Amino acid sequence: MQERKRLEEALASDAQITAMTSDIDTLFELAGEGEAVGAEIEQSIRQLSTRLHVLETGMLLSGENDSHSAIVTIHPGAGGTESQDWAEMLLRMYLRWAERMGFEAVITDRLEGEGAGIKSATFEVNGEKAFGLLASEVGVHRLVRISPFDAAARRHTSFASVFVIPQVDDEIKIEIKTEDLRVDTFRASGAGGQHVNRTDSAIRMTHLPTGIVVQCQNERSQHKNRAGALKQLRARLYELEIRKRREEEKKLEDAKLDINFGSQIRSYVLAPYRMVKDHRTKLAIGDVDRVLDGDLEDLMHSYLVWRKTGKTAGDAKDDLPE
């Protein structure tokens, strides 16, 4: 049903884009005939650009876990109340973003700070592709502002870390396809009586995708040996899947950075000027309030493009025609 829903959405998007481009072609024809449709052309192109931007973001979410829901954890860095307040600002930003996107956000753990802010917070974001979008937020976030907690009104720098993991079903389903198996029979060796040694009752089974080989020869019946070999293979594949998951968890752990200077992925500057800058994609946004209010679409999209192609926001501008 999920696959059907995705296909139906893809077909609907294709039909929508076709209709929008057809309408723009018609407007250009009218403009060529002297009709005053400049404003309509501009509005239609803007709507098409926005729609293509959304579709491109969806196409960039092709990772194994990108379609899953997410679990987000926020921790303040050193700095006491300042960093704790910044961590709470980030929590509000992500909750507002989830609301804008139509996701369900559920706070599962929140530890209040001393005086203001939070010492930590963990929340779930439930919705398709939530993890793929929030993967752009993993790392250290830096805030520069005139501190509301400083009587001398000095400028302070605060840090907080954001860590995101996918919500994955704990149940591991092992599916063994017949076409992925090579089954060889051979004569059992060793003790076992005349029947065992005179018939090809032993089974050697090779799982072609992984190269795992198992065999069973302790039963007189070939069918029983086959069942025993399948049982062994299923256990070996289960072990392999567990190992893969542990490696993925290790990669996520290794992605964590020290909550300190020089390790930030994004800076939010409120004084002496106002700007949000992503240090990976080089995207800079002047409307800081809009970002802190949960409008993260441009930052997330630029990260996905950078992750896929290695191009920064500056490179994207260079690709535009003169």
Q: How many other CB atoms are there within 10 angstroms of residue 297's CB atom?
A: 16
SS3 content of the chain, % helix, strand, coil (to 5): 45, 25, 30
Task: Give the per-residue pLDDT at 4.
Answer: 84
Task: Give the per-residue pLDDT at 258.
Answer: 56
The residue among 81, 72, 248, 80 whose CA lies nearest residue 161 is 72
Angle at 267 between CA 146 and CA 49, to 5 degrees: 120
Angle at 98 between CA 75 and CA 247, to 5 degrees: 55
In degrees and rounded to multiples of 5, residue 17 shows phi and psi of -65, -40
Task: Give the per-residue pLDDT at 173.
Answer: 75
In degrees and rounded to multiples of 5, residue 209 shows phi and psi of -60, -35
CA distance 166 to 147: 35
H or E element, residue 160: strand 155-166
Can you give the C-alpha Rg of the chain in angstroms?
A: 28
Q: Decide if 166 contacts 132 (C-beta within 8 A).
A: no
Q: Decide if 129 contacts 61 (C-beta within 8 A).
A: yes
Question: What's the full length of the chain, in residues?
Answer: 322
Place of tokens 């829903």: 5
Q: What is the pLDDT along the chain (322 residues), one digit of tens a residue?
A: 767 877 888 899 899 999 999 999 999 999 998 888 889 999 999 899 888 877 888 788 877 788 889 999 999 987 789 999 999 999 999 999 999 999 999 999 999 988 889 999 999 999 989 999 999 999 999 999 998 888 788 899 999 999 998 887 666 677 888 899 999 888 776 555 554 455 678 888 999 999 998 888 877 788 888 888 888 888 888 788 878 877 876 776 666 655 555 568 999 999 899 999 999 999 999 999 999 999 999 999 999 999 888 888 766 555 544 4
Task: Give the per-residue pLDDT at 278.
Answer: 96
Cα separation values, 242 from 71, 173, 265, 287, Å:
20, 11, 31, 45
The residue among 131, 82, 71 whose CA lies nearest residue 106 is 71
59-97 b/e with 16+ CB inside 10 Å = b? ebbeeebbbbbbbbebbbbebbbbbbbbbbbbbebbbbb
Task: Give the per-residue pLDDT at 144.
Answer: 94
Is the bond leading into 76 cis (omega within 30 degrees of zero)?
Answer: no
CATH T-level fold of 70-169+252-318: Alpha-Beta Plaits (3.30.70)
Q: Are strands 118-126 and 70-76 parallel, antiparallel or unpaired?
A: antiparallel
Q: Decide if 120 contacts 111 (C-beta within 8 A).
A: yes
41-44 contacts: CB < 8 A, separation 24 or more? 44/20
Task: Give the per-residue pLDDT at 316.
Answer: 56
Q: Indicate the CATH number for domain 178-249.
A: 3.30.160.20
